[in-house]
Homo-oligomer: A and B are copies of this chain.
Amino acid sequence: MNLRLFRSSALVSLKAREVLLLDQVSSHDVIDTAELELSRLSNYKLTPSSSQLKLIHIYHAVSKEDHRDNRFFVRALVPIGRPNTGMFQISEMDLFFTRILEALEVASAQHRTADCNHVFMNFSSSVTFTYDEVVAVLSGFIDGYGDWLSKLHVTETEMRISLEHEEGNVTPIRFIFESVSGFVVDFYGYREVSADDGTTILDAMDKKGPLHLQPAHQAYPTKDPLQYKRYQAHLIGTTYVYDVPQLFSKALDEIWTKARTIDPSLTIPTTLLEYKELVQVENDEYIEVDRAPGQNTSGMVGWLFTLRTPEYPLGRRVVVVANDITFKVGSFGPLEDDVFFRITQYARHLGIPRIYVSANSGGRIELAQEIMPLFSVAWNDEKHPEMGMDYLYLSHDKFLKLQETRPGAVRTVEIKHQGERRHKITDITGLEAGLLSGAGLIAGEASRAYDDIFTISLVTGRSIGIGAYLVRLGHRSVQVEGAPMILTGAQAINKVLRRDVYMSNEQLGGTQVMFRNGVSHLTARSDLHAATKILEWISYIPEFRDAPLPIFQGRDTWDREIGYKPPKSAYDPRLLIEGKWDDTSGEWLSGFFDKGSFQETLGGWAQTVVVGRARLGGIPMGVIAAENRTIERIVPADPANPASVEQRTMEAGKVWYPNSASKTAQAIFDFNKEGLPLIIFANWRGFSGGRQDLHDGILKEGSKIVDGLSSYKQPVFVYIVPNGELRGGAWAVLGPSINSEQMEMYADVEARAGVLEPEGIVEIKMRQDKLQAIMERLDSTYASLKRDTKDPSKTTEDRVFAATLLERRESLLLPTYKDIAILYADLNEYAFLLNDFVSALTCFAVVPEAWRQKAAPNPQCGRTQENTSIGLSERVLPAHRRWLSLRKPILGRPLTTALGC
């Protein structure tokens, strides 16, 4: 029974139930306070908040140890009666829970700093559901209220429900939902059992949570010191830096859950994530240590993670570096720069992926403080300081004192003023010099890192100035909604513009800007969602520089048939890549790649081309496909320019525009650095060559596609799709002779290729005179009339008449002969064949066993030097060659051979 499905419909009838519920509440005159378990609040000094509802008790609690630790405890008795149906109960609970949160909202207005609030609900009656059913209901429930709970800083919700078994006996269960680190909800279920000494202890139902075998009525602990920082981070909308490992651990959980849907036989490892913090020791060296969270002495923290993923169940390593937004608001000072620099170098040294978790405030702004209480002012008019001042100086005695205590803190010029010795200040040099130079240091390193290793960023909080640049310099990025990337804050820009132009930083550099222009490759709803996407991305990437590609073989093999066949009409090219459920039969029509293996990136930008990564028979590949539908492109208005309006332009499918050419090139560069083979699903009529496109640099962007392909180091397969075409300028940037070492081209039997479309060729090469010649050859009437017009034996009159008839005949026949010409031109095209789409796939995927084996997961995780030394190119190239020889007898000539390359 899927209880969760009932929930939303139940909500509809809520209004009707309300009266009943309130009645029930009011009828409870006597409350059993023992059921509120108030003894467990003994670590706190309590102040009850007034509540309208007798069943809901709210206490504002201040820790007896640390007065900063203040929180709310909500203790509620749930009066839900013995159920008739599941539906009934849930709608009641919904209403009751709403009441609790409303009450908390009112109470918490008095104590804004309250954090780690706690809700306890004790169900007064038992229910007849199984444990699993209740878990399903409650999980859905907590999910639905997630945002509200998070807003009210409720970090733990505890529910005590007695389950009634069929045989009549009852088991009290405690369900605990925790989201201390924010965004990630942990769930634990415990059964209450009586211990020998008579106390009640908790026994974990499923996974062993922190309260397993602990007394059920233990007092709630006071706040973890990290919780203050966590709270600060949550206020800014980001995960606290020391919760980043937990975030990725949760994300790994989701990755495995998804992997098991593909291969149920997979065993999920017990520990998904191990990590060591990277800490500086003497000599600027960084070592991996186990250190308690929160010991950081700068606003930048780094780790070495070992991730156990479906591709690398024994573990793969990544380096993570993250801003601590709670440390000097996450600004970049010399120390932060140094940590970022060295940890990135560490990742480059190991040749493994580097993840940057970005939430910061840009470069640190400082002002030397020592001179503040010392300087004097030379006034224009000593008696009227409001008349302005001339310069700042140190009096002679203060100058002497400063020379003693902080020599060099200031540069001065000695002057005499009415006999007084003054030291006019020319420079104050107290600032850390590294404040300015550090930005270049880390920018340069980030740029080199993108060239050298796999770099990706998780934009979890605002990323400003150098923070935004670090993300872009690493190229790949996942931006969480609500985390803007900007250069200057909205308020500062408003100040320059002298009017309130921008409402928020989000408006400047949020996902609606950065995803649409391709700075953000992916967006995410939450940090967890973002971490999951990063792990999905990393699943295509070798575990270290030049390592074999990670293979994850699911049910789909390379030699299966393809279910989806692209139609002649417009369609979504993603269907060709990943397949679809048939609209009528409900059957699965498989796509080119393994089911569920496609991750599209840069999806918000230049949508006339689709790019991403996918697996074919488990082998990861880069994918580029032409969109063939017309797409609306929206250029947002800039509030700073009153004349600007939102522009919507239609971009035709199968045509490269400056933006889509740029996207194509960028994807090629990324794939190449990631060591992926590449397939391009070609279907282009060429480049858009209007004035706007030429002005916007279509030649520049198109050239970059050539630059990318000509330096590509892995096999590239260009495949003109069924009912697709490749024309004109597209040949200059996709022709396999751009890089004959690596590129191969295929065309479906239903594909077309040529310089111009048949209509265009006819326009140039089969003009009227040629058509007339064909007419004369094929149409006897036309031919005989033509003869008549020239026949000297006829009278002039007859010849003129024949000419008139000839002209009429020509007009009559012309449309048909134009069709003939177009058909002739069309037949002339380079319709080189593979047998069909399915055979093409077979051809494509006959990757030799040699490559496949080498690309298999390496149980040593490639940590030995021998493995690292085998470059991918050395391995893939011969394999690629071998594969060519394998392919030929199967399929006859591919297009490239036919073209004579």
Instruction: Name A residues whose Cβ lies closer than 8 Å to a Cβ of B.
Output: 363-368, 371-373, 375-377, 385-389, 391-392, 425-428, 430-431, 433-441, 443-444, 446-448, 465-466, 468-469, 471-473, 485-488, 492-493, 495, 502, 507-509, 513-514, 516-519, 635-636, 638-641, 644, 649, 686-700, 702-703, 706-707, 709-711, 728-729, 731-739, 753-756, 760-761, 763-766, 770, 774, 777-779, 812-813, 815-816, 819-820, 823-825, 827-831, 896, 898-901
Contact = CB atoms under 8 A, between A and B. Distances in A.
A463 B517 CA distance: 31
A689 B440 CA distance: 19
Nearest to A691: B638
Contact of A649 (B430, B466, B641, B693): B641
Contacts of A686: 487-488
B690 A466 contact: no
Q: Which of A365, A485, A518, A778 has the most CB of B within 10 A?
A: A365
A436 B899 contact: yes
A376 B700 contact: no
A690 B447 contact: no
B735 A441 contact: yes
Contacts of A472: 699-700, 702-703
Contacts of A738: 440-441, 443-444, 447
13 contacts: A363-B755, A388-B815, A428-B827, A435-B755, A444-B739, A447-B711, A469-B732, A472-B703, A473-B707, A486-B689, A508-B690, A513-B694, A641-B692
Contacts of A448: 710-711
Contacts of A365: 755-756, 760-761, 764-765
Given A508-B689, A728-B363, A736-B437, A816 B386 contact: yes
Contacts of A900: 433-434, 437
- 7 smallest beta-carbon distances between A and B, as pairs: A440-B735, A487-B689, A444-B738, A638-B692, A441-B737, A488-B689, A437-B899
A734 B436 CA distance: 10
Contacts of A466: 729, 731-732
Given A375-B824, A466-B731, A644-B692, 9 more contacts: A365-B764, A371-B824, A377-B778, A392-B827, A427-B831, A428-B824, A444-B710, A519-B699, A638-B691
Contact of A899 (B373, B428, B433, B816): B433
A371 B821 CA distance: 12
Nearest to A831: B427
Contacts of A828: 367-368, 428, 430-431
A383 to B, nearest CB: 11
A507 B691 contact: yes
Nearest to A696: B517
A781 to B, nearest CB: 9
A426 B734 contact: no
A306 B686 CA distance: 40
A849 to B, nearest CB: 31
Contacts of A367: 761, 765-766, 824-825, 828
Contacts of A698: 487
- Identical subunits present: 2
A469 B729 contact: yes
Contacts of A507: 691
A392 B694 contact: no
A709 B435 CA distance: 20
A474 B885 CA distance: 35
A364 B441 contact: no
A819 B385 CA distance: 12
A635 B695 CA distance: 8
A697 B517 contact: yes
B689 A813 contact: no
A691 B502 contact: yes
Nearest to A649: B641
A208 B706 CA distance: 50
Nearest to A690: B640
Given A690-B638, A824-B428, A706 B443 contact: yes
A223 B336 CA distance: 78
A459 to B, nearest CB: 12
Nearest to A701: B472
Contacts of A425: 827
Contacts of A695: 513, 516-517, 635-636, 638
A687 B487 contact: yes
Given A487-B694, A691-B638, A813-B386, A444 B699 contact: no
A375 B774 CA distance: 10
Nearest to A897: B433
Nearest to A687: B487
B703 A754 contact: no
Contacts of A439: 731-732, 735
A447 B372 contact: no
A823 B731 CA distance: 62
B827 A700 contact: no
Contacts of A426: 827
Contacts of A471: 699
Contacts of A444: 706, 709-710, 735, 737-739
Among A389, A641, A644, A824, residue most surrounded by chain B Cβ atoms (within 10 Å): A824
Nearest to A605: B697
Nearest to A759: B495
B519 A731 contact: no
Contacts of A640: 690-692
Contact of A436 (B689, B774, B830): B830
B699 A469 contact: yes
Contact of A819 (B364, B389, B502, B765): B389
A899 B686 CA distance: 52
Contacts of A433: 830, 898-900
A291 B221 CA distance: 96
Contacts of A518: 697, 700
B469 A706 contact: yes
Residue from the set A485, A755, A823, A825 with the largest chain B CB neighbour count within 10 Å: A755
A736 B440 contact: yes
A388 B816 contact: yes
Nearest to A497: B690
Given A696-B517, A703-B473, A440 B641 contact: no
A389 B816 contact: yes
A302 B45 CA distance: 92
Contacts of A736: 437, 440
Given A431-B828, A691-B507, A764-B365, A815 B386 contact: yes
A874 to B, nearest CB: 21
A504 to B, nearest CB: 11
Contacts of A693: 487
Nearest to A373: B777
A447 B765 contact: no
A803 B362 CA distance: 40
Contacts of A368: 828
Given A487-B687, A649-B641, A436 B635 contact: no
B436 A755 contact: yes
Contact of A519 (B436, B700, B778): B700
A575 B703 CA distance: 35
A255 to B, nearest CB: 29
A465 B694 CA distance: 12
A492 B760 contact: yes
A373 B778 CA distance: 9
Contacts of A901: 437, 441
